[in-house]
C-alpha cells in the first residue's frame, strides 16, 4: 500500500449538527485498544482533557471549542442573559482542565468572541455560530499541520533519522500533527526517514502513541527509553530532533513535555539541530519569556503507580511537572505554518506571526 493511502489516526471528530456529540479516540487505552467515547456534556470534555483521553496542545484546543457547544446548548431555550451566564461558566470549567497548552485558552477565547460579536442574537443562533467556529478551528488546525509539514520537510534529507519526544502527531491535532507532520510530509516527498521515539516517562506518550501512530502509517520507528537519547546521539544515529510545543513565549522559550529540555541540551552538546514544530495558535506573545509559562504538576501516582503497578515505596515524596521549558537559544529553528523561524528571536517570531497564513484565519 502506498504511504498516501494509509489512514491516519483521528484523535477527534464532531458527529451531527448542534445536538450532536464529540467523539474522541480514548488515548489512555492505546496502543492495545482503539476505543472511542462520545462526549455530550462539558463535564465529559473536561474529564477527557484532564485524564489525557484527548491530549496534545492543538487537539485540546479543538476539543475545548466543541466542549463549549455541548456545554451551552441545553441553555439555548433560556433568555439571552442567562445563556451568557452559562457560557461564561462553561468556558471557565474548560479553562480549568489543564494549564500549560495555550491552544486551550486561544480556542476558548475565540468562542467567547463569537458570542460577543452577536449580542442581540437568539441563543439558538449563538449555539449554531459556536459550532461553526469549532469546525473552523478544527479545519484550520488541519491546514496548519499540512503547512508545517511542507515547511519542515525541506529541512530533512533522505536517509536522515529524527529523534522525537512525546507525541506531536495526528493523535495530538486535528490533522497530521506538528513534529510528525514534518516526517509524514518528507516521506510523502519520497525521502527515506526513520524515527527514534523517546518512550517519554512517566505516561509513555512516545511508546504508546508515537510508536503506534508511526507504525500505523508505515514509517520506520525505533523505540528507546528517554535515558538512551544521549547514546543514540553520540553514536550519530540521528541527524535531527523535532518536537512539538505546548506554549511558546514571545522570546521563543518553549514549553513542551517534560524531558524535552534534556533532549535539547543533548542535541546542543552533540551538534545536532533541534527543531520545534508548532502552529501560530501555540504562541503566547503576552509572555515575554518561558519563566512565565504555567507548568502543570500532575499526581504522584503517575510515577509511583504507573499503569496500575506500584514501583516506588509507599508514601514517597514525588515531584511530577508535566512540562519543561527549553530556552530559545537551544532551539535551532521553529517550524510554523507560515514558515521557518531561524534564528529564533522575538523580532523574528513577531515578523513571522504577522505574515498571512494563506488560509482563512
Ligand atoms: O501531556 P500531553 O500528552 O498533552 O503533552 C503533549 C506534548 O507535550 C506535545 O508535544 C505538545 O502538546 C505538542 S502536540 C502537537
CA–centroid distance, 256 to ligand 1, in Å, is 6
Q: What is the pLDDT of residues 134-184, one digit of tens each?
A: 999 999 999 999 999 999 999 999 999 999 999 999 999 999 999 999 999
Percentage of the chain with pLDDT > 70? 97
Nearest to 108 by CA among 64, 152, 76, 74: 64
The backbone torsions φ and ψ at residue 32, rounded to the nearest 5 degrees and listed phi first, read -80, -35
Burial of 222 per CB tally in 10 Å (0-12, 13-18, 19+): middle
- pLDDT score at 360: 53
Beta strands 254-257; 323-326: pairing state: antiparallel
Q: Is the pLDDT of residue 6 over 90?
A: no
Is residue 259 in contact with ligand 1, taking CB distance under 6 Å?
Answer: no
CATH of the domain at 229: 3.40.50.10470
CA–centroid distance, 79 to ligand 1, in Å, is 39
CA–centroid distance, 255 to ligand 1, in Å, is 9
Is residue 257 in contact with ligand 1, taking CB distance under 6 Å?
Answer: yes
| 115 and 209 inside one domain | no
- pLDDT score at 277: 99
Under the banding of pLDDT at 50, 70 and 90, the label for residue 9 is confident
| 300 and 161 inside one domain | yes
Among 112, 144, 176, give the residue marking a domain's end.
144
Average pLDDT, the chain: 97
Domain of 268, in residue numbers: 150-353
Is residue 245 in contact with ligand 1, taking CB distance under 6 Å?
Answer: yes
- pLDDT score at 357: 76
| 132 and 233 inside one domain | no
DSSP 8-class letter at 7: P
Q: Which residue has the cell 471549542?
A: 65
Catalytic residue among 84, 176, 246, 284: 246
Q: What is the pLDDT of residues 107-125, one digit of tens each?
A: 999 999 999 999 999 999 9
Is residue 256 in contact with ligand 1, taking CB distance under 6 Å?
Answer: yes
Is residue 57 in contact with ligand 1, taking CB distance under 6 Å?
Answer: yes
- pLDDT score at 32: 96
Is-catalytic flag, 176? no
Q: Which atom of ligand 1 is nearest to the CA of 322?
A: 1
| 206 and 299 inside one domain | yes
Average pLDDT over residues 263-292: 98
| 92 and 199 inside one domain | no
Pocket test for ligand 1, best of 57, 210, 323 (most atoms within 8 A of CB): 57
Q: Which atom of ligand 1 is nearest to the CA of 209?
A: 3
Is 45 contained in some domain?
yes
Q: Which atom of ligand 1 is nearest to the CA of 166?
A: 10
| 315 and 301 inside one domain | yes
Q: Which atom of ligand 1 is nearest to the CA of 323?
A: 8
CATH of the domain at 112: 1.20.120.420
Q: What is the pLDDT of residues 313-341, one digit of tens each?
A: 999 999 999 999 999 999 999 999 999 99
Cell of residue 130, nine digits: 459556536
- Measured CA to CA, the distance from residue 280 to residue 103 in angstroms comes to 9
Q: Name the domain count of the chain.
A: 2
| 210 and 280 inside one domain | yes
Amino acid at each position: 500500500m502506498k504511504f498516501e493511502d494509509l489512514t491516519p489516526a483521528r484523535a477527534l471528530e464532531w458527529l451531527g449538527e448542534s445536538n450532536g456529540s464529540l467523539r474522541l479516540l480514548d488515548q489512555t487505552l492505546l496502543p492495545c485498544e482503539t476505543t472511542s467515547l462520545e462526549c455530550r456534556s462539558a463535564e465529559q470534555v473536561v474529564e477527557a482533557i484532564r485524564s489525557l483521553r484527548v491530549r496534545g496542545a492543538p487537539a485540546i484546543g479543538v476539543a475545548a471549542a466543541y466542549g463549549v457547544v455541548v456545554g451551552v446548548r441545553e441553555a439555548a431555550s433560556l433568555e439571552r442573559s442567562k445563556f451568557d451566564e452559562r457560557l461564561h461558566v462553561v468556558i471557565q470549567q474548560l479553562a480549568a482542565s489543564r494549564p500549560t497548552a495555550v491552544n486551550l485558552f486561544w480556542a476558548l477565547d475565540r468562542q467567547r468572541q463569537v458570542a460577543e460579536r452577536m449580542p442581540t442574537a437568539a441563543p439558538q443562533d449563538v449555539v449554531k455560530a459556536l459550532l461553526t467556529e469549532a469546525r473552523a478551528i478544527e479545519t484550520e488546525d488541519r491546514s496548519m499541520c499540512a503547512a508545517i509539514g511542507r515547511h519542515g520537510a525541506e529541512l530533512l534529507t533522505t536517509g536522515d533519522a529524527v529523534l522525537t519526544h512525546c507525541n506531536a502527531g495526528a493523535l495530538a491535532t486535528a490533522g497530521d500533527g506538528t513534529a510528525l507532520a514534518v516526517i509524514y510530509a518528507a516521506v510523502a516527498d519520497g525521502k527515506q526517514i526513520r524515527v527514534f521515539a523517546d518512550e517519554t516517562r512517566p505516561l509513555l506518550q512516545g511508546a504508546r502513541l508515537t510508536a503506534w501512530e508511526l507504525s500505523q502509517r508505515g514509517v520506520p520507528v525505533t523505540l528507546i527509553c528517554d535515558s538512551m537519547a544521549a547514546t543514540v546521539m553520540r553514536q550519530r544515529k540521528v541527524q535531527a530532533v523535532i518536537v512539538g510545543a505546548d506554549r511558546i513565549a514571545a522570546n521563543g522559550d518553549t514549553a513542551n513535555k517534560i524531558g524535552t529540555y534534556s533532549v535539547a541540551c543533548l542535541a546542543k552538546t552533540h551538534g545536532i539541530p533541534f527543531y520545534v514544530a508548532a502552529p501560530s495558535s501555540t504562541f503566547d506573545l503576552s509572555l515575554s519569556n518561558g519563566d512565565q509559562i504555567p507548568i502543570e504538576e500532575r499526581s504522584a501516582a503517575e510515577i509511583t503507580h504507573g499503569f496500575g503497578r506500584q514501583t516506588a515505596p509507599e508514601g514517597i515524596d514525588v515531584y511530577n511537572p508535566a512540562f519543561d521549558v527549553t530556552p530559545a537559544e537551544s532551539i535551532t529553528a521553529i517550524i510554523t505554518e507560515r514558515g521557518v523561524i531561524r534564528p529564533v528571536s522575538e523580532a523574528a517570531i513577531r515578523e513571522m506571526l504577522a505574515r498571512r497564513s494563506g488560509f482563512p484565519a
